[in-house]
C-alpha cells in the first residue's frame, strides 16, 4: 500500500512538469515531507478540455457515500480490481488524476524484537523510496466529487474533492520492503490516463506497470511515523545495520 509520501515541489514547478494550463488552487499547500491520509494534496487532472492543478483531500469519498469519513479507508485502490470495485468504478471510468510525489514511505519489519510484550513484536524501520535521478513521481490516482446533503446550494463547502492512489505489485527495488507500491505512470502515458474520453479497455493497458524501476530505497528516521513531524530531515538517509538492497 501507499500510506505516506512526500511532496515538496511548488505549484509552479508542478505546472511546468505536468504541462498544466489551469492552476485552480483555493490554497497553496506548503512543502509536505509527511503526507498522510485526509491531508490536502496536489493533483493533476483534466476537466473542460484543460489540464488543471488542484488541491484534493487524500482518501476518496465515493459519490454515493452517506458518511464522508469512509474516505480515510479509501486511500489506495488496487490496480487489479479498480475497474470493478463499486467505490472506484465510476471514477476509473472518467475521473483520473496524477498525484505528484518526491517519493513514498514503507515500513520494513526488522529482526529487532521489542521487549516486554506477551507476544513477539519486531521493530519496524521506515524506508523512503524515490527516483534515483531526483525526478517527480507521477502516481496514478482517481478523484471524486462528493456532495454534502447537509449544506445549502450556495455553500462553497458543499462539494468535497477527494482522491486515491492506485497500487500495484512492487518491483525488486521496493518489493523487499513491501509487496505493494504506487503505480507510476511514465511521461508517455500521462496524457491518455488523464483524458476522460480514453476507452476503458485502453486504460487497462496503461496500467501495465512498465518501467517501475529506476528507484532507490534507503532507511530514514522513525520520526516519520508521527504525522505531526514534518521537514526535509524526514527524507534524509540514516545508517541501517541490516542489508536489504
pLDDT tens for the 245 residues of the chain, in order: 679 999 999 999 999 999 999 887 878 999 999 999 999 999 999 998 999 999 999 999 999 999 999 999 999 999 999 999 999 999 999 999 999 999 999 998 876 666 666 666 778 899 999 999 999 999 999 999 999 888 888 887 889 999 999 999 887 666 678 889 999 999 999 999 999 999 988 888 888 665 466 899 999 999 999 999 999 999 999 987 654 44
Alpha-carbon distance of 155 to 147, in angstroms, equals: 11
Query: Domain for residue 221, yes or no?
Result: no
Query: Domain for residue 225, yes or no?
Result: no
Query: Domain for residue 222, yes or no?
Result: no
Among candidate residues 79, 96, 107, 85, the one with its CA nearest the CA of residue 177: 107
Position 59 scores a pLDDT of 98
Alpha-carbon distance of 184 to 201, in angstroms, equals: 19
Here the CATH number for the domain that contains residue 43 is 3.90.1680.10
Domain extent, residue 99, equals 5-106+134-210
Cell reading at 231:
521537514
Q: List residues with catalytic annotation.
A: 2, 106
Position 243 scores a pLDDT of 45
Query: Domain for residue 230, yes or no?
Result: no
Alpha-carbon distance of 138 to 7, in angstroms, equals: 11
Query: Domain for residue 57, yes or no?
Result: yes
Query: Domain for residue 187, yes or no?
Result: yes
Strand-pairing partners, residue 93, are none
Query: Domain for residue 83, yes or no?
Result: yes
Position 40 scores a pLDDT of 96
HSE toward the beta carbon, residue 237, CA cutoff 13 A: 8
Q: How many domains does the chain have?
A: 1
Cell reading at 19:
504541462
Query: Domain for residue 236, yes or no?
Result: no
Amino acid at each position: 500500500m501507499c500510506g505516506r509520501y512526500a511532496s515538496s515541489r511548488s505549484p509552479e514547478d508542478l505546472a511546468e512538469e505536468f504541462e498544466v494550463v489551469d492552476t485552480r488552487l483555493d490554497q497553496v499547500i506548503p512543502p509536505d515531507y509527511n503526507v498522510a491520509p485526509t491531508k490536502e494534496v496536489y493533483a493533476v487532472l483534466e476537466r473542460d478540455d484543460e489540464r488543471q492543478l488542484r488541491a484534493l483531500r487524500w482518501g476518496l469519498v465515493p459519490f454515493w457515500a452517506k458518511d464522508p469519513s469512509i474516505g480515510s479507508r479509501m486511500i489506495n485502490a488496487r490496480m487489479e480490481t479498480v475497474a470493478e470495485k463499486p467505490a472506484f468504478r465510476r471514477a476509473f471510468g472518467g475521473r483520473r488524476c496524477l498525484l505528484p510525489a518526491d517519493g513514498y514511505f514503507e515500513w520494513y519489519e526488522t529482526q529487532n524484537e521489542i521487549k516486554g510484550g506477551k507476544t513477539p513484536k519486531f521493530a519496524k524501520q521506515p524506508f523512503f523510496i524515490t527516483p534515483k535521478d531526483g525526478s517527480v513521481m507521477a502516481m496514478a490516482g482517481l478523484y471524486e466529487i462528493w456532495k454534502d446533503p447537509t449544506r445549502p446550494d450556495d455553500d462553497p463547502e458543499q462539494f468535497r474533492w477527494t482522491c486515491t492512489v492506485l497500487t500495484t505489485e512492487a518491483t525488486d527495488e521496493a518489493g523487499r520492503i513491501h509487496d505493494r507500491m504506487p503505480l507510476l505512470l511514465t511521461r508517455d502515458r500521462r496524457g491518455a490516463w488523464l483524458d476522460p474520453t480514453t476507452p476503458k479497455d485502453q486504460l487497462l493497458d496503461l496500467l501495465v506497470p512498465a518501467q517501475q524501476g529506476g528507484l532507490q530505497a534507503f532507511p530514514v528516521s522513525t520520526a516519520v511515523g508521527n504525522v505531526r513531524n514534518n521537514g526535509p530531515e524526514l527524507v534524509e538517509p540514516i545508517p541501517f545495520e541490516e542489508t536489504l538492497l
